[in-house]
Amino acid sequence: MRVGLVGGAGAVGATLLRVLEERAFPVESLRILATRRSAGRIVRFRGAEVRVEETRPESFAGLDLCFLAVPGAQASRELAPLALRAGAAVIDKGSAFRLDPAVPLVVPEINGGLVEPGRPALLASPNCTTIPLTLCLHPLRRAAGLRRVIVSTYQSASGAGRAGIEALWSESAEAVRGRSPEAAAAPDRGDPAAGAPSVFPRRLAFNVIPQCDRFSDDGYTLEEWKLIRETRKILGIPDLPISATAARVPVFVGHSESVFVETQRPLSAEEARAILGTSPGVRLQDDPAAGVFATPLDAAGSDLAHVSRVRRDLGFDHGLHLWVVGDNLRKGAATNAVQIAELWLRR
Amino acid sequence: MRVGLVGGAGAVGATLLRVLEERAFPVESLRILATRRSAGRIVRFRGAEVRVEETRPESFAGLDLCFLAVPGAQASRELAPLALRAGAAVIDKGSAFRLDPAVPLVVPEINGGLVEPGRPALLASPNCTTIPLTLCLHPLRRAAGLRRVIVSTYQSASGAGRAGIEALWSESAEAVRGRSPEAAAAPDRGDPAAGAPSVFPRRLAFNVIPQCDRFSDDGYTLEEWKLIRETRKILGIPDLPISATAARVPVFVGHSESVFVETQRPLSAEEARAILGTSPGVRLQDDPAAGVFATPLDAAGSDLAHVSRVRRDLGFDHGLHLWVVGDNLRKGAATNAVQIAELWLRR
């Protein structure tokens, strides 16, 4: 398999290379493409050194399969047609085509059947919060139907790529070195953005920012709309009543989600646990009395949606609460894309 | 006014002294009481040095008013009767008496009328997440009634007192010094509690812990139950359908809450903003397109519930979402207690 990867210098790109190695994906040749700024860098893959090339219109010639892990939808919109025209299948980690009715939006454990093996095609991988959420909602829906969903997220800095990781790192080091907890906790008076790196709208270190991605006119962020619309598409429920609040927390890797689900038919917490405990792609970690629940530090490095604190709502008859944590770089991005590639490869 | 404070060496106690100074509370004499371990320490109040005394049964003699800011309900249960018997009014920051039907649970802006001035009495101040939540729910309830509430919290380390602040500080310094972001983000394999200070059940630095206080048998934590039961009592709606998920985030000061409210009568986001913008104790900070929303760093040092991101739910006809942030040491604890004292003083 002649494989291309655009965005190999980013956080998701680097994780994607690691996952291709781990899963022994049949890579015969590997071409790593990036912007001019990153061209010339050396990336290691299976012990060999691969030189990052600048992406050009002719870069896709001869590829069977190309992963796109580029920031921003516009880059994918330009590159995907070039790769497809060159005869490659394209798996896009970005948001450009996810809601296109002609493009399958794939979580392999849920709707892997949408992938037609071997045919050059454009396939989209969902947003990093959507994947763990749908892995939990899908089996609950099959068991009891879904009436409503409300999600509040606790998203890590790496959701904003390598720049996000570096911003949190430098802000934290700055706050810790030679300062007191009181100073680190002091309000940023005056210009709230003073000294904040441009990647986040406020200082993230020792703070919570109720904004991921840009705001749309209705007061929801694009990140919240991604979670809402992609979940509806993957589950095949176009009118599913679902709302979301997405917040950024000072964590490096791992997105957490506090999820309220109202089912159509009653489902006890015990039944929900039994269902989730045997669902593909899900790891149930739910024995709070024994200290068993998932945190981002526990889920980092994992390819599963970790589910904890499954319990009945105290107001809704058919309401359940879940605490869901996933590694946003792995199953939330790289691993899901490689799993899609494996389905595409299957003959 | 002869004032006593038990717990003057803690995070809330220190903030309480600062708030008494700021608000020029008429303190004629001040007695600061603590455990034997903290006795002998010197605390500054209005430029003078006050020596911390060990709490004894006879410590309350001659006091008009005594604040209790001690960790754990048991200490309050032992000390409150002693202070009351000595003729002092008692304002308890702890959870021991909050749900006692004979004890007013007071948020001055909501139910300050429950405080009878001058009479020795036991008065309770609510939990640090309850106060900002009820400040927002109360005016919405008066305008449109409440049908259901769902809350997910993002609580700071100082909610666990000085020990919580110190644990997050030392964990963060340890993670930052001489290590890489990758190492700081690495999963804590093996014993997840290895090296974690006893104050939190896992490492909090660069992590999110879906547990505040202990778990009860039904899967909810005591912190979640406090928020639920205290909100019902303060609003006077004993059967209000309300559920909560409380999580600890690596923030020093300031609790955030993602709040879903379903009202009985329809209320647009514009109407809700107009109501909240003129509610006592509330500061509306809601112009996301202009970057105006509250974070813990913005709200630290404030005595108000900061409300942002007021918007309609996408599934419920009468549903609204709010992002609420409050300084848990000030309005969430010390300031509310001093405001109760001011009501009690009023003649």
Q: What is the CATH number of the domain that holds B87?
A: 3.40.50.720
- The sign one gets for the Cα dihedral B209, B194, A129, B325 is positive
B148 contacts in A (CB within 8 Å)? 315-316
Question: Per-residue pLDDT averaged across B314-337, rounded?
Answer: 95
A201: in domain: no
Same domain, B120 and B212: no
Interface check for A220 against chain B (CB to CB < 8 A): the answer is yes
Q: Within a domain: residue B187?
A: no
Task: Work out the number of other CB atoms within 10 angstroms of the CB of residue B342.
Answer: 16
Q: What is the CATH number of the domain that holds A308?
A: 3.30.360.10
A203 touches chain B (CB under 8 A): yes
Query: Percent helix, strand and coil across chain A, each rounded to 5?
Result: 35, 25, 40
Same domain for B341 and B318, yes or no, is: no
On whether both B54 and B150 belong to a single domain, the answer is no
Amino acid found at A253: V
Q: Report the run of H or E that residue A152 belongs to, with start and end.
A: strand A146-155
Q: Which of B192, B208, B294 sits opposite A154 (nearest CB)?
A: B208
Q: Which residue of A has its CA nearest to B321?
A: A245
Task: Classify residue A309 as left (phi > 0), alpha (psi -120 to 50) or beta.
Answer: left
**Confidence (pLDDT) at B197:** 46
Same domain, B260 and B118: no
Position B195 in a domain: no
Rounded-to-integer distance, Cα B281 and Cα B277, Å: 10
pLDDT tens string B143-195 = 999 999 999 999 999 999 999 999 999 999 988 886 666 666 654 433 334 44
Mean residue pLDDT of chain B comes to 93
d(CA A32, CA A63): 11
Q: Are residues B12 and B92 in the same domain?
A: yes
- What digits encode the pLDDT tens for the residues B203-227? 999 999 999 999 999 999 999 999 9
Q: How far, in Å, CA of A114 to CA of A6, rounded?
A: 24
The candidate with the shortest Cα–Cα distance to A296, out of A265, A329, A272, is A329
Measure the CA–CA gap between B286 and B309, rounded to whole angstroms: 6
Cα-flanking dihedrals φ and ψ of residue A83, to 5°? Answer: -70, -40
Q: Which two tokens stand for residue B129?
A: 């997440």
The answer to whether the Cα torsion of B185, A212, A242, A95 is positive or negative is negative
Nearest to B152 among A175, A258, A269 (CB): A258
B138 in active site: no
Residue in B149, B169, B199, B208 to test binding to A, most A beta-carbons within 10 Å: B208
Question: Residue A111, class by beta-carbon neighbours within 10 Å (0-12 exposed, 13-18 middle, 19+ buried)?
Answer: middle
CB contact under 8 A, B288 and A321: no
Range of the domain at A115: 2-125+333-345
Confirm whether A72 is domain-assigned. yes
Q: What is the pLDDT of residue B317?
A: 85
Task: Give a yes or no: residue A308 inside a domain.
Answer: yes
Q: Please give the model's pTM, rounded to 2 decimal places.
A: 0.95
Question: Same domain for B221 and B295?
Answer: yes
CB contact (8 A) between residue B296 and residue A207: yes
Residue among B165, B294, B314 minimizing CB distance to A242 = B314
Are B132 and B159 in contact by the 8 Å Cβ rule? The answer is no
Cβ contact (<8 Å) for A258 and B258?
yes
Do A193 and B291 make contact, defined as CB atoms within 8 angstroms? yes
Looking at the fold, whether A64 and A136 belong to one and the same domain comes out as: no
Q: Is the residue at A170 inside a domain? A: no
Interface pTM (ipTM) of the complex? 0.94
CB of B288 within 8 Å of any CB in chain A?
yes
Strands lying side by side in the sheet with A305-312:
A242-248, A146-155, A255-263, A319-326, A305-312, A282-284
Q: How far apart are the C-alpha atoms of A277 and A109, rounded to whole Å?
A: 14
Residues in chain B closer than 8 A to A210 (CB atoms): 256, 258, 293-295, 308-309, 323
How large is the average pLDDT for residues A62-83?
95
CB < 8 Å to A306, chain B: none
For B284, list phi and psi in degrees, rounded to 5: -80, 120
Q: Are residues A219 and A287 in the same domain?
A: yes
Q: Do residue B297 and residue A187 have CB atoms under 8 angstroms apart?
A: yes
Which band of pLDDT confidence, cut at 50, 70 and 90, is reported for residue A317? confident
Question: Which of B227, B297, B316 should we substitute to test contact with A (largest number of A Cβ atoms within 10 Å)?
Answer: B297
B243 and B305 both lie in a single domain: yes
CA-nearest residue to A287 within chain B is B219
What is the sign of the dihedral through the CA atoms of A8, A11, A12 and A17? Answer: positive
- Chain A partners within 8 Å of B253 (Cβ): 185
| Proportion of chain A above pLDDT 90, given as a percent | 88
Number of domains within chain B: 2
Q: Which amino acid is residue A190, in one-letter code?
A: G
Q: Which residues of B touch A313 (CB under 8 A)?
A: 150, 243
Q: Which H helix or E strand runs over A224?
A: helix A222-235
Q: What pLDDT digit, counting tens, does each position of A5-51 carry?
A: 999 888 999 999 999 999 999 999 999 999 999 999 999 999 999 99
Beta strand residue intervals within A226-343, DSSP E = 242-248, 255-263, 282-284, 305-312, 319-326
pLDDT digits (tens, 9 = 90+) for B77-130: 999 999 999 999 999 999 999 999 999 999 999 999 999 998 889 999 999 999
Query: Could A321 and B149 be called an inter-chain contact, meaning their C-beta atoms sit closer than 8 Å?
Result: no
Closest residue, chain B, to A191 (C-alpha): B298
Whether B188 and chain A come into contact, CB under 8 Å, resolves to yes
